[in-house]
């Protein structure tokens, strides 16, 4: 016997059912949202492949990334600007939400023409980036007179440098706090040096530098880079990706956005599938004894 609907179903109820059906067309029968498609593709930047959110640049639109995560892909490696200072991107770990960076001006060069401190991320208002737990400071002192105190060889070293075609000068680096060696004020000790610069290295690089105090090893310590962790609405992005969406950023409202096949949503692509609507309709009529088999 074929199923049929009892004749007392009202036209208004049928209209409601039809409206539900029309407004929930299966995704397979509709055209995927353009923004969703744009942000579904990872991109390649210089020598790094398969880069996704929160990064953007090259052929990846800004709305597929997060502010301040634009990559410059014009060189032999990606670079990123952090508080107006340029860093070489050595690697990106999407699953760990981390990137390893090294200063561009110090790349293969411990004596750059312009001496400036490394950007201090702690002072960033966005707090999107944080140092990994194994990152430490490395102090560089340029154009110093001979110091009349002895320095611990395992924590300090001397290196040659010629800056802006000037003659060689005495330069020092300090890897750790020197208070345990009776030096309580580094600024005072090295105060007669022309310039002091703070850079960042990993603790392992600093340890290796203590074993080999050469200028080459100093450069290797800085060229190995250090790790930064990011939080670009990571929790919302996990929700979005877990619902088959693509993470992005609304450049107008300045908020995270989740791109879904049927259009953008604030955090995820959650919703009832078309099959669930079919099931709902059948169950509703069955409960009302409107379907007879």
DSSP string of 138-158, one letter each residue: EEEEEEEPPPSS---TTTEEE
Question: Are 124 and 112 contacting, i.e. CB atoms less than 8 angstroms apart?
Answer: no
Question: Over pLDDT 90: what percentage of the chain?
Answer: 47
Q: Looking at residues 277-283, what average pLDDT do you find?
A: 41
Higher pLDDT, 6 or 172: 172
Measured CA to CA, the distance from residue 196 to residue 201 in angstroms comes to: 16
For the ranges 1-10, 88-97, 135-144, 181-190, the lowest mean pLDDT is seen at: 1-10
Is residue 143's pLDDT more than 80?
yes
- Please tell me the predicted confidence (pLDDT) of residue 161: 84
Question: Are 8 and 293 contacting, i.e. CB atoms less than 8 angstroms apart?
Answer: no
Average pLDDT score over the chain? 80
- Please tell me the predicted confidence (pLDDT) of residue 283: 42
Residues near 180 by Cβ (< 8 Å), separated by ≥ 6?
none
Q: Which residues, in sequence order, are bridge partners of residue 135?
A: 202
Question: Are 139 and 174 contacting, i.e. CB atoms less than 8 angstroms apart?
Answer: yes
Q: Which residues, in sequence order, are bridge partners of residue 291?
A: 5
Q: Which residue, 152, 145, 230, is CA-closest to 193?
A: 145
Q: Considering Cα of 263, then 250, then 82, then 120, what sign does the dihedral take?
A: negative
Sequence-separated contacts (24+) of 64-69 with Cβ below 8 Å: 64/38, 64/39, 64/246, 64/248, 64/249, 65/248, 65/249, 66/128, 66/232, 66/233, 66/249, 66/256, 67/126, 67/249, 67/254, 68/126, 68/128, 69/230, 69/232
Chain segment 189-221, per-residue pLDDT in tens: 777 788 889 899 999 999 898 888 889 999 999
Question: Are 52 and 68 contacting, i.e. CB atoms less than 8 angstroms apart?
Answer: no
Asked whether the whole model's pTM tops 0.85, one would answer no
Measured CA to CA, the distance from residue 36 to residue 64 in angstroms comes to: 9
- Please tell me the predicted confidence (pLDDT) of residue 194: 85
Per-domain boundaries in the chain: 107-221
For the ranges 31-40, 84-93, 150-159, 194-203, the lowest mean pLDDT is seen at: 150-159
């Amino acid at each position: 016997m074929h199923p049929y609907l009892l004749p007392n179903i009202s036209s208004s109820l049928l209209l409601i059912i039809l409206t539900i059906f029309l407004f929930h067309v299966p995704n397979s029968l509709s055209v995927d949202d353009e923004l969703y498609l744009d942000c579904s593709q990872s991109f390649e930047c210089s020598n790094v492949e398969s880069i996704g959110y929160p990064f953007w640049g090259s052929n990846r639109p800004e709305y597929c990334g997060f502010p301040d995560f634009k990559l410059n892909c014009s060189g032999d490696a990606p670079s990123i600007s952090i508080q107006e200072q340029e860093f070489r991107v050595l690697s990106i770990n999407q699953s760990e939400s981390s990137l390893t960076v090294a200063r561009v001006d110090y790349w293969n060069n411990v004596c750059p023409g312009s001496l400036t401190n490394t950007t201090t991320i702690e002072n960033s208002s966005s707090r999107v980036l944080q140092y990994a737990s194994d990152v430490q400071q490395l102090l560089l002192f340029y154009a110093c007179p001979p110091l009349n105190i002895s320095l611990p060889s395992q924590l300090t070293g001397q290196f040659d440098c010629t800056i802006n075609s000037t003659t060689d000068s005495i330069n020092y680096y300090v890897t750790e706090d020197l208070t345990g060696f009776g030096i309580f004020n580094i600024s005072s000790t090295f105060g007669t040096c022309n310039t002091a610069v703070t850079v960042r290295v990993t603790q392992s690089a600093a340890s290796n530098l203590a074993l080999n105090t050469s200028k080459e090893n100093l450069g290797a310590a800085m060229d190995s880079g250090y790790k930064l962790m990011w939080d670009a609405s990571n929790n919302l992005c996990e929700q979005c990706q877990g619902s088959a969406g693509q993470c992005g950023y609304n450049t107008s409202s300045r908020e995270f956005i989740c791109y879904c096949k049927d259009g953008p949503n604030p955090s995820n692509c959650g919703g009832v599938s078309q099959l669930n609507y079919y099931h709902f309709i059948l169950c509703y009529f069955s409960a009302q004894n409107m379907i007879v088999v």
